[in-house]
């Protein structure tokens, strides 16, 4: 893992925004106006999906995907001007939040400003026509790495945005770009602006295998940690989705979750979430609201940073289109108090100083954070079971930190919560002894 990784990376709360769909007009100004509300949720970083001009040739939908970029150094006029973007950054900084932007260095729009002057920077057909290496991505063409001049241009672009005030980069399909380019970019940006956060959209295992089979670059998550603070948990995402849908035993997902700890570098950080712009909303994927809440609570409690996708606080069920205006239903923030409590628990002294462990459980998921600062014990009813369950807590009455309800443990048993419960210890003797040996 990169040596200048922020020590608090696993406690970050990130909020993803598609500017086009945010607020009444879909502008930087709308986002700026909403920043105080977002900050109150406990958000550390706002991540803006690509803010650059969108290509017109072969675009999908009416407005096109923000990931089909025509100018890495420009601002999408839909959103406002550079001055508006700088005002957004300034307001976020005043509120104690950082601003992360999307970086898309695997591909550009067909009408990128780079095409005319640098056709050799792209993958081409035998006829010399720029082309994508992923047929489904018909609205883009792929950059061909490595190329020293191209790398210099891309790294200089990141340095430019750091000077504008950007505090982090979320790098789209990062494994498709050679890792040494990311290492170089991180090093040079750090010389200009230390402490920038780097998030890699690492990809599904099946995608990596397919790329490698075709002789194309595809780095593993472990390799990406040479340059990045955080990676996606797409390496086990399909298994998680299958567990949510009840298509596989829950234990299979939990086994892979623990397996991540031995296949990735020590102290590496995963970004956990239950939804993002490429995947179904949890309130659509889950079988019920309570199941959706249980999974949300677990992934926030889980070891790693936590992502909130704009609209999640409104219990949205629809994943917005990338290609047309598709507004989130703002105003009814029914889940904001719930997400706020989860975000604050990421900053609890126990989760900062302690260690995380998954516990054996025949129903739902149980997990614990434990250390010198105490214990946080979570019960997550992701399978929507009912009745009493065994827990490894000392008998007594506890307060559920998610809703302030009272929970009673008697003879090592408690009622299964309808969605999730997180309480402060003390732990039962055998578990306390086991965890003390980990510290």
Question: pLDDT band at residue 8, thresholds of 50, 70 and 90?
Answer: confident
Report pLDDT digits (tens) over 221-260.
999 999 999 999 999 999 999 999 999 999 999 999 999 9
User: Does the structure show a pLDDT above 60 at 72?
Assistant: yes
Rounded Cα gap, residues 366 and 348, in angstroms: 18
Question: pLDDT band at residue 1, thresholds of 50, 70 and 90?
Answer: very low
Do the domains spanning 9-347 and 356-436 agree at the CATH topology level? no
User: Does the structure show a pLDDT above 90 at 329?
Assistant: no
Rounded Cα gap, residues 315 and 310, in angstroms: 10
Report pLDDT digits (tens) over 133-161.
999 999 999 999 999 999 999 999 999 99
Length of the chain: 439
Query: What are the domain boundaries of the chain?
Result: 9-347, 356-436
In 95-231, where does DSSP find H-type helix?
113-117, 148-164, 179-192, 205-213, 221-224
Of the candidates 389, 336, 394, the one whose C-alpha atom is nearest the C-alpha of residue 363 is 389
Report pLDDT digits (tens) over 159-172.
999 999 999 999 99
pLDDT at 429: 67
- Average of per-residue pLDDT across 7-15: 87
Of the candidates 182, 184, 163, 161, the one whose C-alpha atom is nearest the C-alpha of residue 173 is 182
Q: Name the percent of the chain lying above pLDDT 90.
A: 91
- Cβ–Cβ < 8 Å for 87, 28: yes
> What's the topology of domain 356-436?
Immunoglobulin-like (2.60.40)
Residues 6+ apart with CB under 8 A from 212: 218
pLDDT at 438: 47
pLDDT at 425: 85
User: Does the structure show a pLDDT above 50 at 321?
Assistant: yes
Cα atoms found within 13 Å of the Cα of residue 368, Cβ hemisphere only: 23
Task: Select the CATH number that applies to the domain covering 9-347 from these four: 3.20.20.80, 3.40.50.300, 3.40.190.290, 3.30.70.1710.
Answer: 3.20.20.80
- Cβ–Cβ < 8 Å for 222, 264: yes
- Cβ–Cβ < 8 Å for 375, 427: yes
The model's pTM:
0.96
Cα Rg of the chain (Å, integer):
22
Q: Are strands 406-409 and 140-142 parallel, antiparallel or unpaired?
A: unpaired
Rounded Cα gap, residues 84 and 32, in angstroms: 9
Of the candidates 218, 224, 299, the one whose C-alpha atom is nearest the C-alpha of residue 264 is 224
Residues 6+ apart with CB under 8 A from 385: 363, 364, 416
Q: Are strands 420-424 and 413-415 parallel, antiparallel or unpaired?
A: unpaired
Q: Is the CA virtual torsion 300, 302, 307, 311 positive or negative? A: negative
Of the candidates 276, 254, 223, 190, the one whose C-alpha atom is nearest the C-alpha of residue 6 is 190
């Amino acid at each position: 893992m990169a040596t200048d990784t922020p020590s608090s990376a696993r406690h970050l709360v990130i909020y993803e925004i598609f500017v086009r769909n945010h607020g009444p007009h879909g502008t930087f100004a709308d986002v700026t106006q909403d920043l105080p509300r977002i900050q109150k949720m406990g958000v550390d970083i706002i991540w803006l999906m690509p803010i650059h001009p969108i290509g017109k040739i072969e675009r999908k939908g009416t407005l096109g995907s923000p990931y089909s970029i025509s100018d890495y150094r420009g601002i999408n006029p839909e959103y406002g001007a550079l001055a508006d973007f700088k005002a957004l950054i300034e307001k976020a900084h005043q509120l104690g939040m950082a601003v992360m932007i999307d970086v898309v260095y695997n591909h550009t729009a067909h009408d990128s400003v780079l095409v005319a002057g640098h056709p050799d920077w792209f993958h081409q057909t035998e006829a010399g026509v720029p082309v994508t290496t992923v047929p489904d991505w018909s609205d883009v063409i792929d950059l061909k790495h490595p190329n020293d001049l191209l790398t210099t241009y891309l790294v200089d672009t990141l340095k430019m945005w750091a000077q504008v005030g950007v505090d982090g980069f979320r790098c789209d399909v990062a494994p498709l770009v050679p890792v040494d380019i990311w290492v170089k970019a991180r090093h040079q940006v750090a010389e200009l602006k230390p402490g920038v956060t780097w998030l890699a959209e690492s990809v599904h295992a099946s995608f990596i295998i397919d790329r490698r089979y075709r002789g194309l670059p595809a780095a593993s998550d472990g390799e990406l940690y040479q340059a990045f603070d955080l990676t996606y948990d797409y390496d086990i995402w399909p298994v998680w989705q299958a567990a949510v849908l009840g298509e596989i035993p829950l234990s299979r997902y939990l086994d892979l979750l623990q397996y991540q700890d031995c296949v990735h570098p020590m102290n590496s950080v995963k970004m956990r979430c239950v939804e993002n712009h490429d995947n179904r909303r949890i309130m659509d994927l889950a079988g019920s609201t309570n199941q959706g809440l249980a999974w949300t609570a677990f992934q926030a409690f889980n070891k790693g940073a936590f992502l909130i996708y704009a609209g999640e606080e409104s219990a949205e069920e629809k994943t917005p289109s990338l290609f047309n205006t598709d507004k989130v239903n703002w105003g009814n923030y029914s889940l904001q108090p719930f997400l706020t409590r989860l975000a604050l628990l990421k900053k609890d002294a126990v989760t900062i100083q302690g260690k995380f462990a998954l516990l054996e459980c025949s129903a739902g998921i149980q997990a614990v954070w434990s250390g010198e600062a105490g214990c946080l014990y979570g019960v997550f009813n992701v399978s929507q079971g009912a009745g009493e369950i065994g827990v490894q807590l000392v008998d007594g009455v506890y307060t559920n930190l998610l809703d302030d309800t009272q929970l009673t443990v008697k003879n090592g048993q408690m009622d299964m919560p309808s969605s999730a419960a997180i309480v402060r210890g003390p732990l039962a003797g055998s578990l306390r002894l086991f965890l003390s040996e980990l510290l």
